[in-house]
A = this chain, B = another copy of it.
Amino acid sequence: MNDIKVGLIGFGNIGAGVVKLLQENADLIRGKVGTGIVLKRIADLDITTDRGVTVPPECLTTDVNAIFNDPEISVVIELVGGYEPAKTFVLKAIENGKHIVTANKALLALHGEEIYAAAARKNVEVQFEASVGGGIPVLSAIKGNMAANRFGSVIGIMNGTCNYILTRMTQEGADFSDVLAAAQELGYAEPDPTFDIEGVDTAHKLAILASLCFGTRIDFKDIHTEGISRISGLDVKFAADFGYRIKLLAIGKHSNGQVEARVHPTMIPLHNPLADVNGVFNAIRLTGDFVGPVMFYGRGAGQNPTASAIAGDLIGLSRSMMAGAGRRMSPLGYLDGEIKTLSVKPMDDITSKYMLRFSVKDRPGVLASIAGALGTNGISIESMVQTAHQEDDAAPVPIVIKTHEAREGSVQAALKEIDSFEFICEKTVFIRIEDNLE
């Protein structure tokens, strides 16, 4: 069989990585697939800037239609990113009977359903391993060898910027803004880091994971999303005192026909493997009814790891084509019509443990008032730390409480009450705790 011909739209950092990999490991790939995988066309608005890789000049084009209209091209890699024109490009490619490989988590989180429906009509595949966890082959595993499982939970550390910042805050006792500035200098955070540090990127990835794991449509706006910008060095320290580490977690759960989907800073036990996921590394932990808990760990971003995942998708499609297969798998791994619409549990109804850090004026009755407000809202206290009062009686002191499992709505109601008390010096900080991890 002739080489598999591929079109690439978007010749940025990742695109250059794909070019590099397909060149450097061409023999390895041929020895596994039985034919070559060749980037026949690369389309971008800018085809002159040197990307550090050598491509035949006839390969480059500014005209995406050169890819869509080429009957030789069987797979289109979309690496433009964002919503448009990426969505238009993907739908056009599908319309012309091309399989899709993409890394575009934002596009799939918001427009996945429309894209998958188009792919079903044209009987083509959409693969997107690179959209979650960089090079970590987690999506293939969920859709592939773990497909016999009903998944109860999926928990992820999936944003390298946030994890890098939190790791340094943990290891150095540094404050958020100092570490963010350092991260930006080193290129681990964008000049405008909002998308990453406010958890949006992680929420996009959770939307994809949840639909794969639970076989449901997830409306991206139903995902409760909080970032890490309000985490202080003091929180990191108290968490450690309680035996926990703070991570930005994506949490997806499925039980009794209802789904939880939330992204927020979360304390996890120090001894858990997830707690050792540091720096720019990512990890995704799932629980399946037969496989039990499984964790995947690796580089969640970067030119080379992302190129690995994209090439893996190309190899998978190529093997299918070489074996004479039509569409071997639907994008989510479920037959069309099998995707359900499960209700998303309102945030107020989720239950969790919490670390609550109150900043109070040191005077009699404070603790009683706090404990009283917690008690009337049905929240039990598991443990508490109050540091000795300062020389300066006017300075605020921290009271830190770890609750038992409690309902989110009750906790928020209690905090609203407590934060209105006169002795409160600043808005109470709450951080959810995820203890149920093997």
Contact = CB atoms under 8 A, between A and B. Distances in A.
A323 B319 CA distance: 12
Interface stretch (A49-57, A78-86, A235-243, A332-340): A332-340
Contact of A305 (B24, B135, B290, B315): B290
B297 A292 contact: no
A146 interface: yes
A149 B327 CA distance: 25
Nearest to A332: B32
Contact of A298 (B29, B135, B144, B291): B291
For this chain, the copies found in one complex come to: 2
Given A298-B294, A328-B319, A329-B319, A145 B149 contact: no
Contacts of A327: 323
Interface stretch (A104-112, A216-224, A272-280): A272-280
21 contacts: A25-B150, A25-B290, A28-B148, A32-B338, A34-B335, A136-B294, A137-B146, A145-B308, A145-B313, A146-B312, A148-B307, A148-B308, A148-B314, A273-B273, A290-B308, A296-B297, A319-B328, A320-B320, A320-B323, A320-B325, A324-B325
A290 B307 contact: yes
Interface string A106-141: 000000000000000000000001000001110011
A296 to B, nearest CB: 6
A413 interface: no
B299 A148 contact: no
A21 interface: yes
A409 interface: no
A311 to B, nearest CB: 4
Interface in A248-304: 271-273, 275-277, 288-299, 302, 304
Given A140-B141, A271-B276, A324-B325, A290 B148 contact: no
Given A32-B334, A215-B31, A293 B304 contact: no
Nearest to A438: B281
A309 interface: yes
A141 B324 CA distance: 22
Interface residues of A, number: 67
A152 interface: no
A359 to B, nearest CB: 32
A313 B146 CA distance: 9
B288 A277 contact: no
B135 A290 contact: yes
Given A24-B289, A135-B146, 6 more contacts: A17-B290, A135-B288, A146-B312, A148-B308, A148-B312, A291-B304
A304 B328 contact: no
The 7 residue pairs across chains A and B that have the minimum distance between CB atoms: A145-B312, A148-B311, A137-B145, A323-B325, A325-B325, A294-B298, A135-B291
Contact of A297 (B34, B271, B295, B299): B295
A173 interface: no
A141 B297 CA distance: 13
A298 B293 contact: yes
A424 B229 CA distance: 60
A366 interface: no
A285 to B, nearest CB: 8
A137 B328 contact: no
Contact of A273 (B215, B291, B297): B297
**Residue of A137, A145, A315 with most partner-chain B CB within 10 A:** A145
A193 interface: no
A292 B304 contact: yes
A309 B146 CA distance: 7
A12 interface: no
Contacts of A311: 147-148, 290
Nearest to A144: B140
B32 A294 contact: no
Contact of A299 (B24, B291, B322): B291
Given A319-B329, A338-B32, A145 B309 contact: yes
B31 A292 contact: no
Contacts of A396: none
Contacts of A328: 319-320, 322-323, 325, 328
